[in-house]
């Protein structure tokens, strides 16, 4: 997809101090697990206390990032609400599974079942804003947020609306962390984010977060950045990946050297980091690069946090062209091109 | 001018048959697929009726042509059976021949198999074959296994908007075609019955202990079902180029949100009304052009009032023939939109209207009643197919006869 899609506002809840104030990247220090949790903002200014009590973590972080994004953009009614989440509400899914066993399928509380539905955050945003138009949720690992973005771009192309609220949310639970650990998703030894990229071991560290954007066909009052194009590749060979990058850049009349900053999803996993390494060696040997997963950990929709970082560096440092290259465990690869 | 989008292939597996022909046969025979589960270990197994696919999972694997099935969940296998039929029906020998999108839908992914082994997975002292199911819980797992099996690698993604999921998958695929990103998209959904969903809906007190009675005054909830269905969508230019047989046109669609309650529609059916109205407008058809509405018709107290009022608001006193086919298949959640879209295609192709089974008494809130007879030789040019879900997600599709 190619075009001009303006990011008019954004908001992010992440393991960083991203929700308020200027963004100063900090390498977190882990105590006992290879897992980065979000810094929870004060949700009380967004959600009434009795609703708040019933909501699980991912619902809170998803809804509040969305509401803050709308506030930042001064928009009440976006023309569409589109989200991505790889795992939805893990906490509610786990709770309902346990309740089924614990209470032997009788007298179950339906709340965790309702909230475990992948589109429940979307429904809540619409409900909160009394918004009745287009609403969609993508649930496909490292393509969840990416397809939410593509859908948003198509909505703008179709002329259905001038501005779309698009975002992603993901939580990590202790249980899910353990489960994925059994099949090698995480590093075995405690590995600090500062050592992640030089650890030379398989697996990575888990993360979570939520980020939302107002994407419009006009720059808006306080323009953040502009998405110029995106290319997704499913299980490509390295040859196909490299060919796709060359085509993608040439479609935008760019050389690799025109890229001011390369934001990569490099996560220190020796099983899959070669994609990043080989691409950098071949195309971007001298380009500044920022591996963002030392700041947020690995999760299905981490690319949404990368996009949030990109909007910050473009706005604060005046960079002209930023390329994000991320993949999720070698299966879903995405190039996202941004400009000032 | 955006390209027109045609349906060139269909494939289904449901409680009333393992392929399109068997489904059509049972619709014509007016034979419901509702019964009791043979495959799920639940205290509800003799109490809550379901629309279950008769084949057990190893039989499904054989039907799907999968030899060794490590990590192939029932969800994946249902999907594989249906997509293979859809490809064959479209005359596609190898999906790799063209960049193709696969837009799948599911509400609980591989929960059907992971729920059986979940507590073993959590037990550090247990090792075994169940570890193959560790990564199958999410919705992407079934999508990717199906995509890999049939060789699709262009756009591969999954949508989950509860019970409107596969209707949204069809819209998204159609839009990818209209925007010129692909010429062909295979769209639909797959859903296996699970203890998780049975207990979920039961805890909401909206499962009927009798066979569900859509649009009936005595209705008392839904029956869950399982199944999978895919439609092959192609651009008009591709259809012409390869002289493909066109089954019908996907001429209109719309997605709205109810913004009323997490699990209930507004009493006036605002979302349903807007979705149908806008989909019809997009199709360029008027209300008078619609011969049949395949309603969402879950037989829950709320849905049928809300959807019925929306029909009366849109069509006034001229509400076309309508019926819910959920009394045949059960409510197949994410697969429902695609299964019912195919029923819409069949209504057009076979010139018939399917009866709404188990109806006896008009709802007091409505002036209209569903069609209870099988109508043969009933010309159908335009069908509206409705799918509404939790989170206020509403989706309506307009399926039209191919006029060349």
Both structure tokens of B175: 């839009």
Residue whose C-alpha is closest to residue A1's, from A339, A337, A260: A337
User: How many cross-chain Cβ pairs, A to B, lie less than 8 Å apart?
Assistant: 172
- Please report the pLDDT score of residue B132 as a whole number: 86
- Please report the pLDDT score of residue B152 as a whole number: 97
CA distance B318 to A191: 68
**Structure confidence at residue A138 as a pLDDT band (50, 70, 90):** very high
- On whether any CB of chain A is under 8 Å from the CB of B98, the answer is no
Out of A274-278, B51-55, B165-169, B267-271, pick the least confident: B267-271
Do the beta carbons of residue A337 and residue A153 sit within 8 Å?
Answer: no
Known catalytic residue at B331? yes
**Structure confidence at residue B99 as a pLDDT band (50, 70, 90):** very high
Most B CBs within 10 Å, among A140, A174, A299, to test the B interface: A140
Residue whose C-alpha is closest to residue A119's, from A63, A177, A160: A63
Sheet with strand B224-225: strands edge to edge: B34-35, B50-51, B224-225
Do the beta carbons of residue A334 and residue A232 sit within 8 Å?
Answer: yes
Average pLDDT of span B308-337 = 98
Most B CBs within 10 Å, among A136, A152, A165, A332, to test the B interface: A136
Catalytic residue among B112, B163, B187, B212: B163
- Please report the pLDDT score of residue A208 as a whole number: 98
Ordered DSSP codes for A86-134: SS--HHHHHHHHHHHHHTTTSS--SHHHHHHSTTHHHHHHHHHHT--SE
Task: Evaluate the CA torsion angle A63, A69, A72, A73 in order and state its sign.
Answer: negative
Distance from CA of B26 to the nearest CA of A (A): 32
pTM: 0.98
> What is the percentage of chain A residues whose pLDDT exceeds 90?
94
Average pLDDT of span A275-303 = 98
Average pLDDT of span B268-290 = 97
Average pLDDT of span A200-208 = 98
pLDDT value at A23 more than 90? no
pLDDT value at A255 more than 70? yes
Strands B50-51 and B224-225: parallel
pLDDT value at A21 more than 80? no
Q: Enter the ipTM.
A: 0.97
- Please report the pLDDT score of residue B79 as a whole number: 98
**Structure confidence at residue A320 as a pLDDT band (50, 70, 90):** very high
Residue whose C-alpha is closest to residue A87's, from B93, B182, B224, B136: B136
Distance from CA of A93 to the nearest CA of B (A): 9
- Please report the pLDDT score of residue B1 as a whole number: 58
CA distance A192 to A323: 26
Average pLDDT of span A263-280 = 98
Distance from CA of A340 to the nearest CA of B (A): 26
- On whether any CB of chain A is under 8 Å from the CB of B393, the answer is yes
Known catalytic residue at B296? yes
- Please report the pLDDT score of residue A218 as a whole number: 95
- Please report the pLDDT score of residue A244 as a whole number: 98
pLDDT digits (tens, 9 = 90+) for B172-218: 999 999 999 999 999 999 999 999 999 999 999 999 999 999 999 99
Chain A residues in contact with B70 by the CB 8 A cut-off are: none
Average pLDDT of span B67-77 = 89
A326 CB-near residues (< 8 Å, 6+ apart):
A142, A263, A264, A265, A302, A303, A306, A333, A334, A336
pLDDT value at B68 more than 90? no
Average pLDDT, chain B: 96
**Structure confidence at residue A1 as a pLDDT band (50, 70, 90):** confident
A137 to B261: CB separation less than 8 angstroms, yes or no: no
**Residue B196 phi, psi dihedral angles, 5° rounding:** -60, -55
pLDDT digits (tens, 9 = 90+) for B25-47: 999 999 999 999 999 999 999 99
**Structure confidence at residue B108 as a pLDDT band (50, 70, 90):** very high
- Please report the pLDDT score of residue B2 as a whole number: 83
- Please report the pLDDT score of residue B130 as a whole number: 87
pLDDT value at B270 more than 80? yes
């Amino acid at each position: 997809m190619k075009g001009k899609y303006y990011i008019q506002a954004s908001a992010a809840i992440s393991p960083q101090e991203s929700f308020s104030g200027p963004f100063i990247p900090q390498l977190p220090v882990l105590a006992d697990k290879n897992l980065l949790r979000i810094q929870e903002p004060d949700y009380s200014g967004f959600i009434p206390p009795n609703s708040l009590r019933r909501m699980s973590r991912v619902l809170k972080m998803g809804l509040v990032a969305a509401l803050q994004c709308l506030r930042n953009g001064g928009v009440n009614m976006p023309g569409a609400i589109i989200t991505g989440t790889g795992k939805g509400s893990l906490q509610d899914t786990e709770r309902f599974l346990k309740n089924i066993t614990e209470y032997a399928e009788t007298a179950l509380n339906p709340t965790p079942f309702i909230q475990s539905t992948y589109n429940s955050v979307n429904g809540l945003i619409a409900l909160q804003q009394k918004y009745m138009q287009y609403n969609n949720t993508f649930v496909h690992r490292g393509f969840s947020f990416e397809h939410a973005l593509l859908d948003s771009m198509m909505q703008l192309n179709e002329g259905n609306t001038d501005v779309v609220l698009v975002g992603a949310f993901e939580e990590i639970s202790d249980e899910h962390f353990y489960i994925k650990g059994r099949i090698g998703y995480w590093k075995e030894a405690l590995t600090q984010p500062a050592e992640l990229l030089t650890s030379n071991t398989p697996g990575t560290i888990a993360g979570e977060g939520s980020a939302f954007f107002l994407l419009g066909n006009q720059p808006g009052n306080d323009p953040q950045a502009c998405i110029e194009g995106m290319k997704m590749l499913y299980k490509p060979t390295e040859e196909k990946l490299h060919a796709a990058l060359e085509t993608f850049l040439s479609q935008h009349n760019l050389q690799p050297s025109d890229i001011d900053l390369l934001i990569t999803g490099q996560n220190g996993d020796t099983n899959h980091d070669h994609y990043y390494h080989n691409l950098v060696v071949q195309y971007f040997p001298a380009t500044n690069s920022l591996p963002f997963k030392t700041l947020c950990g690995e999760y299905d929709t981490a690319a949404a946090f990368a996009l949030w970082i990109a909007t910050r560096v473009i706005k604060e440092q005046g960079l002209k062209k930023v390329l994000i290259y991320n993949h999720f465990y070698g299966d879903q690869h995405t190039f996202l091109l941004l400009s000032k | 001018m955006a390209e027109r989008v045609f349906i060139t292939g269909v494939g289904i597996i449901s409680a009333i048959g393992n392929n399109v022909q068997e489904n059509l046969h049972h619709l014509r025979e007016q034979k419901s697929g509702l019964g009791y589960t043979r495959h799920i270990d639940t205290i509800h197994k003799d109490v809550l009726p379901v629309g279950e696919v008769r084949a057990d999972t190893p039989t499904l694997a054989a039907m799907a042509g999968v030899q060794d099935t490590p990590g192939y969940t029932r969800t994946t296998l249902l999907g594989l059976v249906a997509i293979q039929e859809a490809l064959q029906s479209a005359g596609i020998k190898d999906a790799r021949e063209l960049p193709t999108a696969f837009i799948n839908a599911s509400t609980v992914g591989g929960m059907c198999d992971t729920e059986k082994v979940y507590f073993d997975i959590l037990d550090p002292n247990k090792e075994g074959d169940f570890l193959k199911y560790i990564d199958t819980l999410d919705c992407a797992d079934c999508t990717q296994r199906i995509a890999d099996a049939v060789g699709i690698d262009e756009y591969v993604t999954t949508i989950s908007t509860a019970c409107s999921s596969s209707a949204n998958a069809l819209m998204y695929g159609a839009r990818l075609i209209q925007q010129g990103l692909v010429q062909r998209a295979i769209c639909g959904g797959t859903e296996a019955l699970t203890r998780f969903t049975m207990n979920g809906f039961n805890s909401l007190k909206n499962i009927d202990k009798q066979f569900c009675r859509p649009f009936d005054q005595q209705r008392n909830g839904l029956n869950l079902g399982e199944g999978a269905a895919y439609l092959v969508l192609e651009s008009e230019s591709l259809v012409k180029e390869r002289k493909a047989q066109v089954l019908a046109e996907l001429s209109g669609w719309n997605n709205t949100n109810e913004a009323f309650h997490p699990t209930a529609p507004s009493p006036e059916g605002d979302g349903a009304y807007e979705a149908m109205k806008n989909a019809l407008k997009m199709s360029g058809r008027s209300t008078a052009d619609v011969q049949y509405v395949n309603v969402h018709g879950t037989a829950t107290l709320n849905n049928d009032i809300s959807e019925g009022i929306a029909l009366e608001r849109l069509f006034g006193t001229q509400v076309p023939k309508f019926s819910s086919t959920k009394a045949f298949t059960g409510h197949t959640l994410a697969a429902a939109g695609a299964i019912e879209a195919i029923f819409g295609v069949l209504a057009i192709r076979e010139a018939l209207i399917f009866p709404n089974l188990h109806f006896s008494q008009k709802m007091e809130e409505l002036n209209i009643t569903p069609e209870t007879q099988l109508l043969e030789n009933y010309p159908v040019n335009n069908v509206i197919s409705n799918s509404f879900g939790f989170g206020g997600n509403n989706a309506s599709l307009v399926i039209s006869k191919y006029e060349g």
